[in-house]
Structure 1
Amino acid sequence: MSTNPPVVLYHYEASPFAKKVQSLLALKGVPYTRVLVLNIPPRPALSTLLGITYRRVPVLAIGSDIYCDSAAIASALERRFPAAPTLYPFRVGVGKTAPIAEEVVKTDTAVVRALAFWAEGQVFPTVQDHMPYESLPAEWIHDRSGHRGAPIDIPTIVARRDDSKSTVASHLALLEAQLADGREWLLDTTAPGLADIIVHTPFAWARTLSSLADLFDPTVVPRTIAWLDRTSTYLDARRVSAPVISPEDAAHVITSAQAEDIDYTVGFNATDARRLGTERGDAVTVTPRDVGKVPTVGTLVALSSEEIVLETRGEVGVVRCHFPRLGFQIKKAEAKL
């Protein structure tokens, strides 16, 4: 019998970031179930049943721990499923026959995170300009305007599309240069890893948008096209069927599962907590710094330089909610929980 914890993905079908997380799960070979949620709040499957008001999806449950943001999800999958294929494969010619040493595997973690800031902070917004805003429902436009903190001005977006398309072309040129030496994978590794998935996600999405499709010209970016196809083929061959379950069933599975040993994996940095004006056991809020600034309120139970962990309570039970440190703000709540 498997001793692996249950894994549940909360997402909606059209989300590029959900596709990214599904690619991570495929690469790691982790079986999972799914809960389909609406593409706009409210999402009572999370907020009511589990007490998580974080407005973005996807989120991933592993046991009774909920990981918010794809960066936290990637880190959790790597540490919770160490026997699965690593997200940080060896460089070509390095350590192929030797046991995996942590200092080798972790060599490019900072580079991978920098790539994430580029792919998600620079590439993604320019690709996003080419979504078919003109035909999207008014309800969705209204929700995403609130999410961004400013109205979505469709005429302005349409007017700047040529400029943003030129920017996407420049990003493609950078990617083509990275692949110019004929390497198989983005960081010249023996297999695809987190870096490939991070960068593949926005460019594969861009390829599906009609106003950007002509940028993927095999005479201009042949190595990029080959890498995109190679990565897609590799991941598609490893995808498994993920059954859809009800929010209620998922919540009961999650809250009855074992929690991660966060004292060991995350710990508590008391010095940093003092800088933030809080301590273990305090009621705190965690809020994204960029968009979707809806706070999640809970009890602070773990804190490191990379991760924040809150305990939240919903109608079904208690879970632990994990956020990355970078990109999120933590504050002491005004009232006790």
Structure 2
Amino acid sequence: MRPKAMEYFDNLIPENMVKIKEQKEQGKNVVGYYCVFTPVELIEASGAIPVGLCATKQDPIAAAEKDLPRNLCPLIKSSYGFAVTDKCPFFHFADVIMAETTCDGKKKMYEYMKDIKPMMVLDIPNSSTYELKREHWVHELKRAKAFLEEKFDTQITEESLQKAIKAHNTERTKLMELVSLNKHNPAPLKGQDLLKVIWARQFQLDRETYLEKIQEIIDEVREFIKNDKSKDDRPRILVTGSPTGVGQEKTLNIIENQGGQVILQEACSGVKGLVKNVPESDDSLTSIAEKYMELPCSCLSPNDGRFDLIGSLVEEYQIDGVVDITLQACHTYNIESKMLKDFLQENYEIPLMQIETDYTDADTEQIKLRVDSFLEILK
């Protein structure tokens, strides 16, 4: 059963590629971003539209490789390729880009991209104590606030920050309500559909309709669950690792086509940024800092939060096995994979399979064989 309301999400991104032009023509400011670390509340509080940028297609990579090395993460090359070819409407209509110093490849690529668009690059503290990290994050948010205020000739007030925080907390809560439906056996939602809904969050330009459509899916699925008496013995899979965006669902497709259930993703394109909200307080910048500094990205050292989150999801969603998707040349996730495998084996006695891949289809048959073997072990 596929919820009827999913049709809205099938078309949301391509339709909004047209609507973003209309927003600009109406005088709206637009801030493009790539990463889950981006404080979208701050952008929205400035009166600008925060919008995700194209980064998950193979098509523009050849153009990127004229400047960037071939043995680089495909996400970085795709991001830059869309920028230099001007084939991403969201990038084209963005006034500025808010970037971040996560991995070394991205922050060096941004040195090229700054010649295409004005940029604000957040310095992500990747190794420090809690107090120093919070202090650093608050400093970076103040710097970003000043940048947006100057760029758009506006003032970001405490009131506008609190309003934006409430709006984005509502989105996160509603998305986690949707994801939690897959605790049911059988999982009523395919992993590919959950990806499509969560990924659309950064491209949606009409929050009210976006939330209404999510609620329609929730209502439809709950009705299905109420009447469903079946059980599904297909292995329940949690996907983690490098972000898997719309346009490169190759591995998710293979897992589900070969007989696995993708229950949810922990990755940046999954629930990693959704499980915690921004605390509501009278000091919104500090509250935003506290939320984003706890995101368990592999660029952090140590990254115990990722293991804790995956462990809780494994128990909560009755996971049988974990698939760790590592994009080619994504060194931080690649190194962390063995640590995660040992952690899952020692604490939960469930296996992990790592798949290192890129955006091409060259390894599709190889991945199929490996997934078949993994699912057979789980059965």
Q: Which has the higher helix share?
A: 2
Q: Which has the higher strand share?
A: 1
Report the TM range for the smaller structure's normalisation. under 0.3
What is the TM-score of this pair, normalised by structure 2?
Answer: 0.25
What is the TM-score of this pair, normalised by structure 1?
Answer: 0.27
